[in-house]
Amino acid sequence: MNTAFLKNEILKTGISLDIIYFEETESTNLTAKNFLAENPSADNTLILTSNQTAGKGRFDRKWYSEPGANLTFTLIKKLNLSVDEIQLVNFYTSYILYTTLKEIFISNKEMNFMLKWPNDILLNNKKLSGILLELKNIETPVKTFIIGCGVNVNQTVFDKSLPQNITSLKYESGLKSERETILLSFIKNFFEKTGLLKDGKELIRNWKICSDIAGKKIMFKKFSDDIPETAIAEDISPDGALCLRNEKGILKKYYSGEITLSV
């Protein structure tokens, strides 16, 4: 990872961001939390590694990433958001990552990116990127968000035993991408558009346009019981909840869980 290039380019943008790079670390989210324990006032700090040895995913799952091939990073960001607005950070981050990748691959019509509730990015219907959002100081107006992002960039061999259908930018495009360029564009977009976090309705409206869920039959699993249910995804509400109509015709809102498309 060319961190000198990254730091230099960030400096040119005027964005104040501390970049802390590790050749290897267990999990950038864990490293970020350890860093915050020592430096509680840390903000605008990017923890980055080329080799994440024990990456964490949602639902206590593991996140595997080939050493040196992909992007695995965590952004520490303090935001003045109410408890009801916390979810918006998931939507905001995935939306920014999605738009960044769309911009980069704008001329490649074979690269079909899509957002999947609540914060995944799919490429050609396979999982490309995941986000693990953690939080400190939930009780104070300014909260510390630990935003962990994994993007499969240049990995082309995936463990067949993994439950999900996974892909990477290189697997779909045949071309190697510069991880630094993607990360730089993401950071620029992230810091430029934070105003969207203050307009949840607009954010969700934009997010929905980039997902393809409305009206689809899906399979849904709650975090609490992991039992799959079939339902129709009717909408995503302005506060980010997934609105599902179950087989009995009852409409319910869910704030966490996981969906599988096309059942």
Cβ proximity to ligand BTN, 219 vs 232, nearer residue: 219
| Residue 36 binds ligand BTN, judged by CB under 6 A | no
Q: In angstroms, give the least distance from the CB of 27 to ligand BTN.
A: 3
Contact between residue 36 and residue 144 where contact means Cβ atoms under 8 Å apart: yes
| Residue 130 binds ligand BTN, judged by CB under 6 A | yes
Contact between residue 19 and residue 197 where contact means Cβ atoms under 8 Å apart: no
Q: In angstroms, give the least distance from the CB of 150 to ligand BTN.
A: 3
Question: CA-based Rg of the chain, rounded to a whole angstrom?
Answer: 18
Cβ proximity to ligand BTN, 31 vs 99, nearer residue: 31
Q: Which of positions 60-99 make contact with ligand BTN (CB under 6 A)?
A: 61, 63, 72-74
Q: In angstroms, give the least distance from the CB of 95 to ligand BTN.
A: 16
| Total chain residues near ligand BTN (CB under 6 A) | 20
Q: Of 217, 252, 203, which Cα lies nearest the Cα of 87?
A: 203
Outline where 112-199 has alpha helix (H): 169-173, 179-192
Q: In angstroms, give the least distance from the CB of 74 to ligand BTN.
A: 5
Q: Is 249 exposed, middle or buried (0-12, 13-18, 19+ CB in 10 A)?
A: exposed
Q: Which of positions 131-170 make contact with ligand BTN (CB under 6 A)?
A: 131-132, 148-150
